[in-house]
Structure 1
Amino acid sequence: MDIEKQVVAEIEALLGPKNIRTGNDAEGFLEDFWGRARGSALCVALPGNTQEVSDVLAICFKHNISVFPQGGNTSTCLGAVPDASGRSIVLSLSRMNRILSIDPLDASITAEAGCILADIQEAAAKVDKFFPLSLGAEGSCQIGGNVSTNAGGTSVLRYGNTRDLVLGMEVVLPDGRIWNGMRTLRKNNTGYDLKHLFIGAEGSLGIITKVSLKIFPSLGHLTSALISFDDIANLTAFTEPLRRAFDTSIIAMELISGSEVRIVKTMMPDLSVPYDQSISWFLLVDITSDGETDIAERLQDVLGEAMESGQIVDVLVSANETQRASIWKLRHSVTESHKKYGMGMSHDVAVPIGDIPRFIEIAKSKVDESFPQAEIAIVGHVGDGNLHYNVMFEKSRWDAIADQPQMRKDVYKAIYDIAADMNGTFSAEHGIGALHVAEMKTYKSEIELEMMKGIKAYFDPLNIMNPGRILPE
């Protein structure tokens, strides 16, 4: 029996035939969400607990077989699909989806890595607590993937990235050894904090199997406001008086271009949010308060002053939870709308907040000059400087491009160079995956890459964990 068949046979003997996928049964695990890349694998393994993950990795380590960990497969940068070699397995955490404990006094929740993000949010709400990580894919993404990619989302302004929400974790190393770092302590100053090596490592150092997370007091009354601007400089300038008035009561502060709203409304015509096509920019704000009156009065003061000065054009303030949900559905429908619309090159850049208007101006000039068949659609977390700068090609225009791979490279480089010139980054929250490995070589310093490669070599000497991701070979 050759090595590949032996590996599949050993994994099947370990997990049972119901928990391994081969041939046509593996289809759903081999292609990314966007349909941009497809790989090949000997099998898909679906372990049901940490020991089974350990045993599967030990088999692969023994036979030098690559392992591609997969959560909800919602990565935007090809981080969760196998390569084309066919000499690998996909390890799906989808069966490991239990919430293990929740402790309101300790303000912590512990879950297996395959637990759906929305289920963690719901479990916290049942004990009058709040888990703040919120993404467009929260109904399908898994918490292990969120931690492995250090996901951002719409609540970073107040609560930080996923890294800031993790208290402890359990990790299976490439050779099958299990590290138990499952603590819920807020203070533990005993040398290197190892969990941070695995947060954002995208499964390249080991597989996270359990996590302990911070939960917070449930939010009071939430008010959403969709504020209209005719100029991006006015929008970014308005964030300062808004912060001054509400401080940490602001949960989210999202920028949306008028072109983005048009695409979403075109692809999702049933969305009930009013839309004026003459508006160039929108600011979506979520504010929490113990009393509705307090928010209403302060909002009226801040918005009234800005309207009188001409800084803002118009504003829609949610009158109830149904209207608030409709406003946010507009924001959370962006990814699905892009997929229906055509080909979008989404740039996950970040620049200093004060440089956002200049970045948008320079980037628009570059796109208009070099890629006239494209249109620009932008959403972003304006409170932390992170912009998803989408260079969109309507389907027929994309199909007409002869050298599509080169077009992708040219578009990405053009926008990333602008961000780099402003001391920004080409990846603020989405990670690297397989899509942006070349950018690591271009934009990271030699010493940064040297340190990263040293860490990778220690944990994964055979380079079997998610190979081809993050680090240039």
Structure 2
Amino acid sequence: MQEADMASYCRDWHGDVEASAIAVLRPANTEEVAHCVKTCSQLGLSIVPQGGNTGLVLGGIPDAPASQVVLSLERMSRIRHIDAEDFSAVVDAGCILEVLKDAVAEQGLFFPLSLGAQGSCHIGGNVSTNAGGINVLRYGMTRDLVLGLEVVLPDGSVLNLLRTLRKDNRGIDLKQLFIGAEGTLGIVTAVAIKLFPQPLQVETALLGLHSLDDAIALYRRARYECCDLLSAFEFMPPLAFDLAIEAMPELVMPLEAGAPAYVLMEVSGSGRVDVRALLEGFLEAVMEEGLVIDGTMASTKAQSAQLWSFREGMNEGQAKRGLHLRTDVSVPLSKLAAFVHDTSAALTLALPECESLAYGHVGDGNVHLNVLPPASYGLQERQRVIATGKKIINEWIDRYDGSISAEHGIGRLKLADFEARLPAAQRRVLEGLRQVINPAGLMNPRCILSDASSPESAV
């Protein structure tokens, strides 16, 4: 592979970071992955595993070009089998998430992991980063959807845990060690996943509210009154719609009067429950009470898709604004509104020339609090904004006993911030696991944990 062909494997999704590597390896099956790992071990080369390269924390981007190879799973895209009676499937790690979702839907089944990058991200990458998405409040993180794994260990041996059992209490659940490990303990090559009946009724509503506090109050009501059928609940400020329209000018704001805050919610189900009547009754009650001041319900799949286009489009709009601060944090749900208020005020005070944007998955306490510099800012000014904004946000996260990474992972981008907050006992356990499973430090070094003993530490 020529250097020009390698470029896309060494550049992050947003194009903010460009690197290089000795080579890009593209095995087609588990045996070839094992052979690659053994060969790299013999040569003393470090491996950076990579899925669809849609990660946001540089966990799949090399950082030592003289001693690293990228191992891409893109050729391992096979769906091994779908078992409708068992509500399970087994797929290669390189299977694109959207391809998997479409394949199981043809058999009346549903895989609930839903991400903006689902058209290009891989299921193996989803597992390795414990991806979240919009359906976490109902179905959980990726961790909750995995039944079994196949993993190539750092010595090239294959650990086969591809079981589809729902209950298996034979000691420690080893597969959990590799979920969210970001390729530092081994390379996930296949995944056994949990499936659900395909929701036959999906109802989507965009609602205008007075504040984030009201959005959280609405969520609590919805959790009780819409029961377990509430599948998504997203908070968006007015700026989100401006950004979405900047990226997708064909979008038309569906609500006439501007509101200080918005919620995009979805209720879904199958069987004999009338989901639309349930949502209509719920919305009628909260609008009469004044909790919701405006709203619209999608009457067709196309209208529902357009409402969701605003949620996805605002990410594209932010990208068009150039290099900016992107965060992925979480706090207890009961503290979310106060955290956003306090942190946003601190950002405005320190960076009055910038726009801050808070949005996210209200139902699980996850908020993306981003900072957008003015268009006129150059690289150095943008880097200053990012450093200042990150420091402020992390300080408030600490005050609210939250997490600096709710769903994106640690990778290399958040390594220093993670280690600065890592309790000694937790570090000992993590380092002990790595020492036992990846003693040579060749598997994705300096991802999640720094390693002074890794071959590149002197590079």
- Into which bin does the TM-score normalised by the smaller protein fall? over 0.9
What TM-score does the superposition give when structure 1 sets the normalisation length?
Answer: 0.92
| Kept in 2: contact 1:38–1:82 (CA 8 A) | no
For residue 327 of structure 2, give the secondary structure of its aligned residue in structure 1.
strand
C-alpha separation between the residues in 2 aligned to 1:34 and 1:456?
A: 30
Compared CA separation, residues 292 and 327, structure 1 to 2 (3 A):
farther
252-261 or 330-339: bigger deviation: 330-339
357-366 or 369-378: bigger deviation: 369-378
Shift of 1:378: 2.3
C-alpha separation between the residues in 2 aligned to 1:292 and 1:234?
A: 31
* Structure 2 residue ranges without an equivalent (≥5): 452-459
- Is 2:190 the counterpart of 1:239? no
- Is 2:409 the counterpart of 1:431? yes
- Is 2:28 the counterpart of 1:58? no
- Is 2:429 the counterpart of 1:451? yes
| Kept in 1: contact 2:57–2:409 (CA 8 A) | yes
C-alpha separation between the residues in 2 aligned to 1:377 and 1:403?
A: 19
C-alpha separation between the residues in 2 aligned to 1:40 and 1:445?
A: 34
Counterpart code for 1:87: S
Shift of 1:402: 3.5
- Is 2:145 the counterpart of 1:165? yes
> C-alpha offsets along residues 378-421 of structure 1, whole Å, 9 cap, x if unaligned?
22111111011111124323x1x635444323211211221221
Shift of 1:164: 0.4
Q: 1:336 aligns with which of 312, 316, 328?
A: 316
C-alpha separation between the residues in 2 aligned to 1:276 and 1:392?
A: 26
> C-alpha offsets along residues 250-293 of structure 1, whole Å, 9 cap, x if unaligned?
11111111111211112211124425573221111111144899
Compared CA separation, residues 382 and 97, structure 1 to 2 (3 A):
same
- Is 2:350 the counterpart of 1:370? yes
Q: 1:322 aligns with which of 288, 302, 305?
A: 302
- Is 2:27 the counterpart of 1:47? yes
For residue 59 of structure 1, give the secondary structure of its aligned residue in structure 2.
helix
| Kept in 1: contact 2:240–2:310 (CA 8 A) | no
* Structure 1 residue ranges without an equivalent (≥5): 1-20
For residue 34 of structure 2, give the secondary structure of its aligned residue in structure 1.
helix
292-301 or 433-442: bigger deviation: 292-301
Shift of 1:227: 0.7
Question: Which structure 1 residue ranges, 4+ long, deviate > 6 Å from structure 2?
Answer: none
| Kept in 2: contact 1:258–1:277 (CA 8 A) | no
RMSD: 1.6
For residue 285 of structure 1, give the secondary structure of its aligned residue in structure 2.
strand
Shift of 1:461: 1.1
C-alpha separation between the residues in 2 aligned to 1:276 and 1:472?
A: 51
C-alpha separation between the residues in 2 aligned to 1:144 and 1:261?
A: 32
Q: 2:441 aligns with which of 449, 463, 468?
A: 463
| Kept in 1: contact 2:323–2:382 (CA 8 A) | no
Identical pairs, percent: 38
Q: Which residue number in structure 2 is paired with residue 81 of structure 1?
A: 61
C-alpha separation between the residues in 2 aligned to 1:273 and 1:194?
A: 48
273-282 or 221-230: bigger deviation: 273-282
Q: 2:202 aligns with which of 198, 201, 222?
A: 222
C-alpha separation between the residues in 2 aligned to 1:291 and 1:164?
A: 24
Counterpart code for 1:429: E
For residue 228 of structure 1, give the secondary structure of its aligned residue in structure 2.
strand
126-135 or 454-463: bigger deviation: 454-463
> C-alpha offsets along residues 425-473 of structure 1, whole Å, 9 cap, x if unaligned?
1101000011000111222211111211111111111111111110133
375-384 or 331-340: bigger deviation: 331-340
Count of paired positions: 451
Q: 2:136 aligns with which of 152, 156, 181?
A: 156
Q: 2:119 aligns with which of 139, 158, 172?
A: 139
C-alpha separation between the residues in 1 aligned to 2:148 and 2:109?
A: 19
Q: 2:285 aligns with which of 305, 309, 324?
A: 305
What TM-score does the superposition give when structure 2 sets the normalisation length?
Answer: 0.95
